[in-house]
Amino acid sequence: MSGIIRLHFELPGNDLMSAGEASSSVKKKLNQLGINPAAVKKAAIAMYEAEINAIIHAGGGTLAVTITKDRINIVISDHGPGIADLDLAMQEGYSTAPDYIREMGFGAGMGLPNIKRNADRLEIKSAVGQGTTVEITVFF
């Protein structure tokens, strides 16, 4: 299949050591494609935050990437607890992260707002008890 690049990553739950590896690897590939740095940065930030969220709030999940000539589409899915009030979660500073997570420098409640700022298109589907799917698109 040509003209479309598909990548798939497993995000191991509660493994903060490897958190960010998937995003970092995708970022390298975007640079190899010669995508403009501003778009790469936007995609990298949004993808990184969603990856971290799946790992620390939902016990891990998957990250699927589709790259075509004009865009990157990133779908991060998990089978975690889901988000009860999405509007609330989207607010800056809102976080349910426990103390030990905060000690590691996460849990400022800035992740989702940052995803929103950097994604050109964002769709979040979440159901309590079932999981969350975050779909991010950035145009080149």
Ligand X SMILES: Nc1ncnc2c1ncn2[C@@H]1O[C@H](COP(=O)(O)OP(=O)(O)OP(=O)(O)O)[C@@H](O)[C@H]1O
The residues binding another protein (CB under 8 A) are 1-3, 5, 7, 20, 23-24, 27-29, 31-34, 37-38, 40-41, 44-45, 48, 67, 69, 105, 108, 114
Partner interacting with residue 98 (select from ligand X, Mg ion, another protein, none; CB below 5-8 Å by kind):
none
| Minimum CB–partner distance for residue 4 and ligand X (Å) | 26
| Minimum CB–partner distance for residue 64 and ligand X (Å) | 15
Provide the b/e sequence for 37-58 (b: ≥16 CB within 10 Å).
eebbebbbbbbbbbbbbbbbbb
| Minimum CB–partner distance for residue 28 and another protein (Å) | 7
Partner interacting with residue 97 (select from Mg ion, ligand X, another protein, none; CB below 5-8 Å by kind):
ligand X
User: 41 phi and psi, to 5 degrees?
Assistant: -65, -45
Residue 5, Cβ density class (10 Å: 0-12 exposed, 13-18 middle, ≥19 buried) = middle
CB 57 within 8 A of CB 80: yes
Partner interacting with residue 41 (select from another protein, ligand X, Mg ion, none; CB below 5-8 Å by kind):
another protein
The residue length of the chain stands at 140
